[in-house]
Structure 1
Amino acid sequence: MVQVLIGIIILAVILYGSVFIFQRFTTRKIRNVREQVNVLKQLPLGQDIEAGHQMSLTGQSLTAFNALVDEYQQVNEKTFDDLDHLIDQVLFDVRGINFVKTNRERHQAEALLTEASDHFDHVRSGLAELKKVDGEHRAAVARLEKKYQDLRKVLLSQNLSFEPSIDRLEQNLADLEAQFDEFTTLSQQGDHVAAQKVLDTLTSGTTALENLIETIPPLYADLKTGFNEQLMDISDGYQQMTADNYVFGNLDLPGQINRVRSEIQMATKQLTNLDLAAVSAANHNIEVQIDDLYSVLETEVTARPAAESQQNELHDFLTHAERQNHALQVELDRLSQSYVLSQGEIEEAQGLGGRLRQVTEQIRHEDNALTSHTDSYSNIVSRQREYLQILTDIEAQQRTINDGVKNLGQDEKNARKRFQQFDNQMHTLKRQIEALNLPGLPHDYLDYFYVVSDEVDKLGRDLSQTQINMEEISKQLIMIQADLGTLNEKSHDLRDSALLAEQLLQYANRYRNANEQMATASQRAQRLFDHDFKYADALEIMASALDTVEPGAYQRIENNYYGNSTTTDSTDK
């Protein structure tokens, strides 16, 4: 019994200790929460938000600021009240025994504290960022104000550079000043959305005015002085050149100068309306026209010495070409006494002489144009180049004619030498054939021999003419060379066939009495040899018959013949 009582006492002590510990722990935790809540309440976020209302926020920055204010007010007006209520509830409940409820309320209080702390951190960092943006915004506005103030100074100090456009530019500047005043008023009133719209318009307007002020002076400078000075320079140059006997043909240069001046006036009026695209295009067009006018003057100045120099060159060239033509016609006349000129060389040379007479008249015309100043130097130079090209072509054609006939004498000598060679070859072939002591010659061989002989004789007769046609002679030389080569082959074939046939007939005598077939073949071959002069046919019959009686005999005889024949030919040569 005593032990049970002791156990109950111990358990009671443990329970009391646990309750005491829980109460002390919870009380300490919740009081810590209250201290942190008080710290949050002491933060100067309210002052920061009040300062934010003084910032000139617009657009998304203003939206972000309003969101931060709502977030702050939610914590300050709602979350803190909830926390105070939970803290008081926990401190009351901790004295009881509902440990679960007390512990849950403590955790809720800690969670709300964390949430409030996070929101305050977010609000504090957001306000710092907005303050930075506000500073940048104020700096941008200050820069913008300085920019259009600088523009005002430029317009006031350099108004002569904008003379046609100054009224419109000053009006634009006045509009910008009115917009800036409106922007300032709206910002002070806190109407940030409206102020942002005005600021956007003000920014684009200032940029546009800045571009105008930068672009107009060089455009106006060209229109006011640059182009006019150049036109004056061109006009003075034109008058001086006209006094120096320069001619510009149908070109109305003063009229073109006046037209350019009219375009300058029109572009200046466009500049009054700030139509810079039209003015830029007009200035470019005027610049191109002025460059063209300068080019006209420069072309004539450059052409004058060229015309004078080329005229002398033309006279020298013409004199040389006329001498060349005269010498060519004399040479052609001399050659025509001995040779047939079949390519129309004389007529062509005479035609070139006629063209030279035409060029002579044209060059005289250019002489008159230079001395009487009836045409521009550039036109004269252009025609001179045409005449120089004509003379160049004439001289080239005359050289071609001369090159075609200058070797006629040498060609004749070569032709006579080759004729003598052909004639000697014909006599040599004739002696060689006669030396064979054949009973006769085949008709086809004789016909070809006489044809080649007649060709050689005709060549000799043509070379003996008073006027030699070297073109025809050249054709005959080529033909005779080919035909004589063929005749040589036919002569060698005739000799070889006849001599081999004789050897085979002699060799076959040993078989004639003993072999009837050989006897018949020999009789037939002998008849072809003695009466028909068909030596190749006789050779073929004997070769076939002999190979039947004694295989290999013909090949042996033929090899021996051609071996001795080659040696003999080498010795003859």
Structure 2
Amino acid sequence: MKYIIGTILGAIILLGISFFVKRKFFSEIDQLESWKIEVMNRPVLDEVTKIKQLNMSGETEQYFERWRKTWDEVVTVDLPEVEELLFDAEEYVEKFRFKKAKDTFVQIEDTLKKAETKIDEMIKELNKIIESEAQNRQDFLDLQDTFKLLKKNLLAHRHVFGKSASHLERLLSYVSDQFEMYQKESEQGNYLTAREILLDTKEKLQNIEKKMEMIPLLINDCEHNIPSQLKEIKDGISEMEKEGYYLEHIGLDKELAKIEKQLNHYQELIEKTEVDECSSGIEDIKDSLNLMYDLLEAEVHSKQFIQKNEEPTVKRIDQLIEETRSLQEEVTDVKSAYHLSDADENLTKQLEERLLTMKKTIAILSGEAQPKSAYSAIREKLEGIIGELEEIEKEQQKFKEKLQTLRKDEIDAREKIKELKYLVQETKRLISRSNVPGIPLHIETLFLEATESVEDCFVQLEKKPLVMTAVQQTLKKAEEVVNQLHQQVNEMVENVFFIEKIIQYGNRYRSQHPEIHKQLLSAEDAFRRYDYGQALEEAASAVESVEPGALKKIEAIINEEINGDK
């Protein structure tokens, strides 16, 4: 019984699943059916009939026939095929042949997509022809207006176009022929071909319009502006040469002849209305002319510069020569007292030679200016000389300061030696005032070394000629030794005073602490031998061992005494 019930339940479940699957497939069949009806109901014929408003001949007639055949194919072949496939799909679903049904769905979708593509292409081509016809009519009117305006302008102002007027007429005549071609193609229903003709005509009219705008300007440049500038430059060259200018280095004659030849060529191009090449060439000529003006102007400015600066420069050279010779006398004086390097001794001689060479150069340039040298070249050399003079002035000033520094360094060194000698004496007096029982050997040695170092400085200062580098070296050594001596003596005096205070403080513990008494005796012994470092170490160790922190107390007592004395 259980097996029977299980089998029945299984069958019911399978029937339920099959019911839902079939329902899903039938739903997809309904969607495909709706798609088919939508394709079938597309208003293709209404769209196609729009073209009947145009001339039904030529391209239009050919397109119409092709569209009609395509639509017939969709209606009589594609859609019936879809209908048959839908019927097959229903049958497959009824028989639970779902895979077969899916394959059929794919065929239906592919057929409907192809049918829609055919229809879309038909509509696209249709709209293209209709839009071309409408756009053609408007463009034709606009282009005719442009054509009439250009023709009118050519007739009214023919003289401004010179010999190019005939070529422009031929170009406009060709445009007129294209208008006739356009109308012929339109009447024959070839609207797309007519569209291409109009676009080509539009481009040609734009080109003609551009030519007619540029040609009068180019003619004016070739026949008036540039020839006028050429004459102006030639006259300018002739006048400048009479005034003594040397202009052969610029090579203007060859360039002017080249430009005149180019102008003839560009006038021929203008006659042929080849404005682009002509315009580019004329711009190059204008650049060349501007360069010529700049070169001639540079020669004029160079001459003015030379006239303004030549004499002052010569005077400045003479002045610097005098200053250099004066500086040489100062060097001679300094050499008697100070040692100078070979470079320092020869500097003034070298400066004078450079200045004399510059003076000769200016004299030569002035002599060659008529008529062998361009003023621009002379100016360049004169500017170089002026710049070199500035460098010589800087060298002179720097050397003067160096000589002055030698004297100043000597004075400073003598003053520094006095200070060091005084510091050694003060250090000795410090020892005397402090009642130090004796001086350790290393300090006595420092005293001797310090005294000898200071004496070495005096010896170097008395040498003739004086070598300041040697003075400064001995002075540096003396300063280090004297400062070291003064520092160590200060430390020694402070230590002696501190040791005495520590021993005095530690005496209170001698009777009760034999070990402290013994350490203090050892410290006193070291003190009498002038070994103040050892004495301080043992005395401090003894007091701190019995009374930690005692050294700080002693320092405080010493500070109170010092402040009280102040």
Q: Do these two structures clear the TM 0.5 threshold for a shared fold by scoring above it?
A: yes
Q: Is the 8 A contact 1:58 1:196 kept in 2?
A: no
Gaps of 5+ in 2: 1-51, 65-129
CA-CA distance at 1:390 after TM superposition:
0.8
Gaps of 5+ in 1: 1-51, 67-129
Counterpart of 2:367? 368
Counterpart of 2:375? 377
Counterpart of 1:288? 287
CA RMSD of aligned residues (A): 3.6
Q: How does 1:301-312 map to 2 (within 5 A)?
A: 301-312=300-311
Give the one of 358, 371, 386 matched to 1:388.
386
Scaled by the length of structure 1, the TM-score of the pair is 0.68
Counterpart of 2:411? 413
The structure-2 alpha-carbon separation of the partners of 1:271 and 1:514, relative to structure 1 and needing over 3 Å to count, comes to same
The structure-2 alpha-carbon separation of the partners of 1:506 and 1:263, relative to structure 1 and needing over 3 Å to count, comes to same
User: Quick check: 237-246 or 520-529, which moved more?
Assistant: 520-529
Distance 2:532 2:403 in 1: 50
Counterpart of 2:255? 256
**1:281-306 CA deviation, whole Å, 9 max, x = no partner?**
21111111111111111111121101
Counterpart of 1:543? 540
Scaled by the length of structure 2, the TM-score of the pair is 0.69
Q: Is the 8 A contact 1:419 1:456 kept in 2?
A: yes
- The DSSP-based 3-state class of the residue aligned with 1:239 is helix
Distance 2:553 2:197 in 1: 127
Distance 2:532 2:139 in 1: 125
Distance 1:478 1:244 in 2: 70
The structure-2 alpha-carbon separation of the partners of 1:431 and 1:200, relative to structure 1 and needing over 3 Å to count, comes to closer
Distance 1:563 1:469 in 2: 52
Q: How does 1:220-299 map to 2 (within 5 A)?
A: 220-299=219-298
Distance 2:541 2:139 in 1: 125
The structure-2 alpha-carbon separation of the partners of 1:566 and 1:386, relative to structure 1 and needing over 3 Å to count, comes to farther
Q: How does 1:6-21 map to 2 (within 5 A)?
A: none
The structure-2 alpha-carbon separation of the partners of 1:529 and 1:163, relative to structure 1 and needing over 3 Å to count, comes to same
**1:235-283 CA deviation, whole Å, 9 max, x = no partner?**
1111111111111242221011011112222222333333222112211
CA-CA distance at 1:433 after TM superposition:
1.9
Counterpart of 1:488? 486
Q: Is the 8 A contact 2:164 2:271 kept in 1?
A: yes
The residue type equivalent to 1:498 in the other structure is: V
Give the one of 444, 463, 470 matched to 1:446.
444
The structure-2 alpha-carbon separation of the partners of 1:177 and 1:497, relative to structure 1 and needing over 3 Å to count, comes to closer
CA-CA distance at 1:519 after TM superposition:
4.2
The structure-2 alpha-carbon separation of the partners of 1:439 and 1:416, relative to structure 1 and needing over 3 Å to count, comes to same
Q: Is the 8 A contact 1:306 1:381 kept in 2?
A: yes
Give the one of 398, 401, 411 matched to 2:399.
401
The structure-2 alpha-carbon separation of the partners of 1:412 and 1:564, relative to structure 1 and needing over 3 Å to count, comes to farther
**1:182-215 CA deviation, whole Å, 9 max, x = no partner?**
666777x776747766655554444432332222
The structure-2 alpha-carbon separation of the partners of 1:490 and 1:59, relative to structure 1 and needing over 3 Å to count, comes to farther
Q: Is the 8 A contact 1:325 1:349 kept in 2?
A: yes
CA-CA distance at 1:393 after TM superposition:
0.9
The structure-2 alpha-carbon separation of the partners of 1:475 and 1:140, relative to structure 1 and needing over 3 Å to count, comes to same
The residue type equivalent to 1:536 in the other structure is: G
Distance 1:402 1:547 in 2: 66
Q: Is the 8 A contact 1:422 1:456 kept in 2?
A: yes
Larger Rg: 1
The residue type equivalent to 1:293 in the other structure is: M
Q: Is the 8 A contact 1:412 1:470 kept in 2?
A: yes
Counterpart of 1:25? none
Counterpart of 2:456? 458
Distance 1:520 1:196 in 2: 131
- The DSSP-based 3-state class of the residue aligned with 1:468 is coil
- The DSSP-based 3-state class of the residue aligned with 1:250 is helix
Distance 1:57 1:470 in 2: 117
**1:326-371 CA deviation, whole Å, 9 max, x = no partner?**
222222222222223359433333332232222222222222233x
Matched, 1:526 2:554: no
CA-CA distance at 1:534 after TM superposition:
0.6
The residue type equivalent to 2:533 in the other structure is: A
**1:394-448 CA deviation, whole Å, 9 max, x = no partner?**
1111111112222443443333233222212212222332455545322221222
The structure-2 alpha-carbon separation of the partners of 1:447 and 1:563, relative to structure 1 and needing over 3 Å to count, comes to farther
The structure-2 alpha-carbon separation of the partners of 1:156 and 1:435, relative to structure 1 and needing over 3 Å to count, comes to closer
Q: Is the 8 A contact 1:249 1:375 kept in 2?
A: no
Q: How does 1:470-489 map to 2 (within 5 A)?
A: 470-489=468-487
Distance 2:414 2:196 in 1: 112
The residue type equivalent to 1:539 in the other structure is: L
Distance 1:222 1:198 in 2: 36
Distance 2:477 2:457 in 1: 11
The residue type equivalent to 1:464 in the other structure is: E
Distance 1:209 1:508 in 2: 124
CA-CA distance at 1:378 after TM superposition:
1.1
Q: Is the 8 A contact 1:223 1:264 kept in 2?
A: yes
Distance 1:518 1:185 in 2: 140
The residue type equivalent to 1:324 in the other structure is: E
Q: Is the 8 A contact 1:426 1:453 kept in 2?
A: yes
The residue type equivalent to 1:221 in the other structure is: N
The structure-2 alpha-carbon separation of the partners of 1:460 and 1:566, relative to structure 1 and needing over 3 Å to count, comes to farther
- The DSSP-based 3-state class of the residue aligned with 2:541 is helix
The structure-2 alpha-carbon separation of the partners of 1:166 and 1:484, relative to structure 1 and needing over 3 Å to count, comes to same
Give the one of 478, 495, 498 matched to 1:497.
495
Distance 1:352 1:567 in 2: 70
- The DSSP-based 3-state class of the residue aligned with 1:330 is helix
CA-CA distance at 1:140 after TM superposition:
6.7
The structure-2 alpha-carbon separation of the partners of 1:166 and 1:566, relative to structure 1 and needing over 3 Å to count, comes to same
- Report how many residues are paired: 447
Q: Is the 8 A contact 2:306 2:379 kept in 1?
A: yes
Distance 1:226 1:59 in 2: 56
Distance 1:198 1:409 in 2: 99
The residue type equivalent to 1:540 in the other structure is: E
Distance 1:228 1:411 in 2: 75
Distance 2:371 2:340 in 1: 48
Matched, 1:564 2:566: no
The structure-2 alpha-carbon separation of the partners of 1:423 and 1:211, relative to structure 1 and needing over 3 Å to count, comes to closer
Distance 1:197 1:500 in 2: 118
